[in-house]
């Protein structure tokens, strides 16, 4: 018994040893650090439980094609009361017409002056060229070729059952047919926006140019050059 009690004497003496003021200050500082860290954790937990912010509202003024000097140009107000799907449909229509007009404008300038087909005897304005040449049997093949991308574009529309008619889905990127064999589409968002602006503006100019070319030939009855 004595041997056991004597073994505990050093420990009891250590426990009875007085604690210095510096040690107490260190303990207080550690307690304050623990309390501060606990408060920070509680604040972080409250932030995690907060609901995520709502996605930004669709605004036609932020779409590609809104460039200077006119900026957002909609004098008739097509997009004033239109839904997001309807505005996306308008943009899809604008892109398709712009691409066709760019090809048509190039065809006016090249096709009327360089026409090696059918013996090179096509020497009439473009708007009546198909009547003066054996192009009539060729048009069904052209229509069939054009119908291929148009059929796939049907799946970009909202469902007519319970959905809005003539409206494009929000997850569809306007004018994107997943066809880029040369890899011209930029991966950088800023470069992609710049390319989209160029395509839309060139398409708009081409629509005006093609209409002017057709109007001039209808008025004069002659080729442009």
Contact (CB, 8 A) for 65 and 201 = yes
Examine the domain organization and report whether 174 and 68 are in the same domain: yes
Examine the domain organization and report whether 66 and 130 are in the same domain: yes
Examine the domain organization and report whether 23 and 81 are in the same domain: no
Examine the domain organization and report whether 85 and 141 are in the same domain: yes
88 part of a folded domain: yes
- pLDDT for res 114: 80
- pLDDT for res 47: 53
Examine the domain organization and report whether 7 and 109 are in the same domain: no
Examine the domain organization and report whether 45 and 66 are in the same domain: no
Considering only CA atoms, which of 212, 214, 206 is closest in space to residue 95? 206
Task: Find the CATH number of the domain harbouring 144.
Answer: 1.10.3460.10
- What range defines the domain where residue 158 resides? 60-220
Domain count of the fold of the chain: 2
Sequence-separated (6 or more) residues with CB below 8 Å from residue 79: 60, 87, 90
Examine the domain organization and report whether 24 and 117 are in the same domain: no
Examine the domain organization and report whether 125 and 210 are in the same domain: yes
- pLDDT for res 24: 56
pLDDT (tens, 9 = 90+) of the chain, 225 residues, equals: 444 444 444 444 444 445 455 565 665 666 566 555 554 444 444 455 677 777 778 899 999 999 989 999 999 999 989 999 999 999 999 999 999 999 999 988 888 888 776 666 667 788 887 776 666 677 788 889 888 888 888 889 998 888 888 999 999 999 988 889 999 999 999 999 999 999 999 999 999 999 999 999 999 988 887
225 part of a folded domain: no
- What is the DSSP secondary structure assignment for residue 119, as one 8-state letter? G
107 part of a folded domain: yes
Number of CB atoms found within 10 A of residue 66's CB: 16
- pLDDT for res 31: 58
Examine the domain organization and report whether 38 and 106 are in the same domain: no
Number of CB atoms found within 10 A of residue 204's CB: 16
pTM higher than 0.85, yes or no?
A: no
204 part of a folded domain: yes
55 part of a folded domain: no
CA 125 to CA 213: how far, in whole Å? 10
Provide long-range contacts, Cβ within 8 A and 24+ apart, for 188-192: none
The residues pairing with 71 across neighbouring beta strands, listed in sequence order, are 67
- pLDDT for res 65: 94
Which pair of structure tokens corresponds to residue 93? 């229509």
Tell me how many degrees the CA angle 131-133-139 measures, rounded to the nearest 5: 75
According to DSSP H, which parts of 78-188 are helical? 84-111, 126-132, 139-153
54 part of a folded domain: no
Examine the domain organization and report whether 154 and 107 are in the same domain: yes
Reported as a single tens digit per residue, the pLDDT across 5-55 is 444 444 444 444 454 555 656 656 665 665 555 544 444 444 556 777 777
């Amino acid at each position: 018994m004595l041997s056991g009690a004597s073994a505990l004497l050093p420990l009891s003496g250590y426990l009875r040893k007085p604690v210095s003021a510096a040690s107490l200050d260190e303990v207080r500082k550690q307690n304050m650090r623990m309390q501060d860290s606990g408060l920070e954790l509680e604040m972080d937990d409250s932030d995690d439980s907060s609901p995520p912010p709502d996605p930004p509202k669709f605004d036609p003024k932020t779409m590609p094609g809104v460039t200077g000097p006119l900026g957002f140009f909609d004098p008739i107000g097509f997009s004033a009361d239109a839904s997001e799907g309807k505005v996306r449909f308008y943009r899809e229509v604008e892109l398709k017409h712009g691409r066709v007009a760019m090809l048509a404008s190039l065809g006016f300038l090249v096709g009327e002056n360089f026409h090696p087909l059918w013996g090179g005897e096509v020497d009439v304005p473009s708007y009546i060229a198909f009547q003066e040449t054996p192009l009539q049997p060729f048009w069904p093949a052209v229509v069939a070729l054009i119908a291929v991308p148009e059929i796939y574009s049907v799946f970009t529309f909202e469902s007519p059952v319970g959905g809005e008619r003539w409206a494009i889905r929000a997850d569809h990127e306007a004018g994107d047919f997943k066809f880029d064999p040369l890899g011209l589409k930029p991966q950088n968002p800023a470069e992609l926006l710049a390319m989209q602006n160029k395509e839309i503006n060139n398409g708009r100019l081409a629509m005006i140019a093609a209409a002017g070319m057709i109007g001039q030939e209808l008025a004069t009855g002659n080729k442009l050059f």
